[in-house]
Structure 1
């Protein structure tokens, strides 16, 4: 599904990834874990084509087997959720309009975008699926952070994508909102779809995630089955701290040793 081969990428004038390689197959559910500044968000921006890699010999970035990607097709195949996307919506966008805008790959609705009655009804169904029924006319600014994140999830799912990619999905949420969001993500995994989550909190790694990738300073430092990668040794080295890891019913917890 996604293949990074010796990819180098910059954010403004800073080189974030240097000759980075990673392959994720369709159907996999992967968590990418690392400290702030490790390059997690840059990876997702490369996938969504918000930024592009350096054009150099021996380097390639392929999505679904292709280096050249039709952005409209990409948006229907992969649903994206990020803090940047949340920040891009204007305060007066109605909740239903946020979901409908996913059909057009737009940020909000504009005069030239005319959804069909079927699209409007499907958007209402998606609101119900994220427990926001009856809130279709609520302005974006009137929603809590947790509600905004669930609304973006409905927007991402409106196409029935093959994969869902989330940049720190529970970041900034209170405990109740975080648990609700993670529960919705577990429901998505139940349909057998692909998922990629970036985070630096292991308690956001839902039990359905079966592979974990650790990155630091733009380099891959560990990659493999969750049980083999989420260890006290690996995470202590990743975060340069004495960390202890425990696991219960597929959920992992971390504390300072």
Structure 2
């Protein structure tokens, strides 16, 4: 639920201030200031190893920043939220999660597993008819009801990726985090995953997208944050951020950015 601070302003969904994540005496991410409001969308763009995944782990509380008298990360204004509250609000879909599917189960069972935080059904758990219906509804909303009884290992990569989205959707999260969602997909799979993000954004859920490519940024996402060398490199409206000069500086190679009907693409400026 959205709250308000003493000035009558709405409390951000996430607020980060002076957060440093350190491993082996090396700072792998530093965030001066970042806020994300309920229903707001943002895309995180940057090179491999820049700190994008660590940033997401700060939000999901999988990693913690250095101690400060004032806690650096707040969730809905709470400096020490319960992990269960954060997980209830966030759904996370990643290509690495897809790689972890190694079980021959009907797709509907994979989706029901989202209620328990498992890839599949945990032992000694009785699945109710309501649980199963929630899973079928999630598959229906994503346009793949026909895969419900199919072995998830026999699905196309694009279908399996959408099954994982349904697995998160079954818990009705307010925020969907898509971490490199189009990695390993063919053009058809990419189309459907991007369409899925558009559908969820239209429902009023916050979309946090982590990607290397502007092509993944759906028109509904109006804000882009660039991460380079373990720090925020730029943050603002995509019309200002997604341009030749800024992305060339981000990736340290000459790039050309094109835009068509709210979609952006990037290509190398060879021979420059």
Please indicate, yes or no, whether the TM-score normalized by the shorter chain is above 0.5. Answer: yes
Which residue of structure 1 aligns with residue 219 of structure 2? 207
Of 9-18 and 72-81, deviating more is 9-18
In the alignment, which residue of structure 1 is the partner of 2:198? 186
Residue 33 of structure 1 contacts residue 198 of structure 1 at CA under 8 Å; is this kept in 2? yes
Distance 1:247 1:75, change over 3 A: same
**Residue 144 of structure 2 is aligned to residue 132 of structure 1:** yes
For the structure 1 residues 12 and 83, does the alpha-carbon distance in structure 2 shift closer, same or farther, using more than 3 Å as the test? farther
Alignment of 1:221 onto 2:222: no
Structure 2 stretches lacking a partner, 5+ long: 1-12
2:35 counterpart of 1:35: no
Is the CA contact (8 Å cut-off) linking 1:6 and 1:59 kept in structure 2? no
Structure 1: gaps spanning 5 or more residues? none
For residue 135 of structure 2, what is the aligned residue in structure 1?
A: 123
State the match for 1:94 in structure 2. Answer: 106
**In the alignment, is the contact (CA less than 8 A) between 2:95 and 2:182 conserved in 1?**
no
Give the TM-score of the pair, scaled to structure 1: 0.93
- Looking at structure 1, the residues matched to 206 and 243 of structure 2 have their Cα atoms a distance apart, in angstroms, of 24
SS in 2 for 1:134: helix
Please give the alpha-carbon distance, in whole angstroms, between the structure 1 residues aligned to 2:57 and 2:207.
Answer: 15
Could you tell me whether the CA contact under 8 Å between 1:211 and 1:226 is conserved in 2? yes
What's the C-alpha RMSD, in Å, of the aligned pairs? Answer: 1.8
Match of 2:93? 81
Cα distance between partner residues in 2 of 1:240 and 1:228: 18
Deviation, structure 1 residue 10: 4.1
Q: Is 2:116–2:122's contact at 8 Å kept on the other side of the alignment?
A: no
Task: Decide whether the 8 Å contact of 1:244 with 1:254 is kept in 2.
Answer: yes
Q: Which residue of 2 aligns with 1:54?
A: 66
Instruction: Check if 1:7 corresponds to 2:19.
Output: yes
**Aligned counterpart, 2:256:** 244
Q: Write the distance in 2 (CA, Å) between the matches of 1:240 and 1:180.
A: 31
Q: CA deviation at 1:212?
A: 0.5
C-alpha contact (below 8 Å) 1:30/1:211 kept by paired residues: yes
Distance 1:140 1:53, change over 3 A: farther
8 Å contact from structure 1 (residues 17, 219) kept in 2: yes
Aligned to 1:106: 118
Which of the two has higher C-alpha Rg? Answer: 2
- Aligned CA distance change for structure 1 residues 107 and 53 (closer, same or farther; 3 Å): farther
Are positions 1:144 and 2:126 aligned together? no
